[in-house]
Amino acid sequence: MTTTIALAGKGGTGKTTIACMVIKYLLRHRPGTILAIDADPSSNLHMVLGLDLEWTIGEIREEMLQQVQSSVAVGAGVLPGGMSKREYLDYEVRSSLVEGDRVDLIAMGRPEGPGCYCAVNHLLRQIVDGISRHYDFVVIDNEAGMEHLSRRTTRDVDYLLIVSDPTQRGIVAAERIAELGKELDIHINHTYLVLNRLVGPIPPPLQARIEALGIPLLGVVPADNQVTTFEFSGRPLIEMEDDSPVYQAVAAMMAQILGPVT
């Protein structure tokens, strides 16, 4: 059975950092394999994981559409060389999978252009879901909003972590994202708020706003200059020491929602 953890939040809140720490915890404390899905068009999850990314699903999609448009067999749904669209996409997506040590990565990449993508996205969703079923954990790092998550996967999300910075505007954005989550064509079992980059205790006005939000606060991640140092140097965040305050905070959250190792 696959456990799916998705992260969302407005831009700049540190979703990718938290996603990396979630994966680090799973590697340290949970048996099984992990698929990381980078659903943010900026596609930088591979950098924090120390993986090399050659091409993305978006690039595969655009390449296939160009081949379809240039093919005389468009009506038959066949690409040059006799390969079907499904066969082409399946082969290319599996080839784009970045393999690591117990964690593999698929990057969704660029958003759609001006053409018609419905049929292609449907095939891609089926293929990615088929690949996901072979992993024990799937961690999805989403773009700033939630509106495209149902176009990336049909699988239920076990845990949605909405990451916010410690500001009133951040909490308002988190509330909007939670509302968007209710409108998706997928089921979200549990939704939590994660407050990131906090210096000191939560200020009382912000605490009151969080309590009125209606989303359980899973935990607080402290501000840590070590993260900035890693980012400046280009060193993968996955290599941070286990005693890092950022990792320790995320690890405690994961242990809380996933329970004891069986």
Chain segment 173-209, per-residue pLDDT in tens: 999 988 888 777 778 999 999 999 999 999 999 999 9
Strands 103-107, 137-141: pairing kind: unpaired
Who contacts 142 (Cβ-Cβ below 8 Å, separation ≥6)?
Answer: 6, 7, 8, 15, 39, 40, 148, 149
Which is nearest to 160 in space by CA: 97, 212, 151, 174? 174
Query: How distant, in Å, are the alpha carbons of 124, 182, 252 from that of 118?
Result: 10, 22, 40
- In the chain, the N- to C-terminal Cα span, in Å, equals 14
Query: What single DSSP character describes residue 41?
Result: T
Residue 15 has pLDDT above 50, yes or no: yes
Least confident range from 65-69, 136-140, 164-168, 197-201: namely 65-69
Question: How many CB atoms sit inside 10 A of residue 67's CB?
Answer: 16
E strand map for the chain: 3-8, 34-38, 98-99, 103-107, 137-141, 157-164, 188-198, 217-222
Query: Distance (Å, rounded) from C-alpha 10 to C-alpha 13?
Result: 6
Going by pLDDT thresholds of 50, 70 and 90, the confidence category of residue 84 is confident
Query: Distance (Å, rounded) from C-alpha 212 to C-alpha 193?
Result: 12
Average pLDDT over residues 63-91: 70
48 conformational bin, left if phi > 0, alpha if psi -120 to 50, beta if neither? alpha
pLDDT for the residue 220: 98
Query: How distant, in Å, are the alpha carbons of 26, 69, 84, 191, 226 from that of 75?
Result: 46, 10, 12, 44, 55
Least confident range from 55-64, 83-92, 123-132, 151-160: namely 151-160
Which is nearest to 19 in space by CA: 176, 160, 167, 181? 160
User: What domains appear along the chain, each with residue ranges and CATH number?
Assistant: 3-258 (3.40.50.300)
Burial 166-201 (b: 16+ CB within 10 A, else e): beeebbebbbebbeebeebebebeebbbbbbbbeee
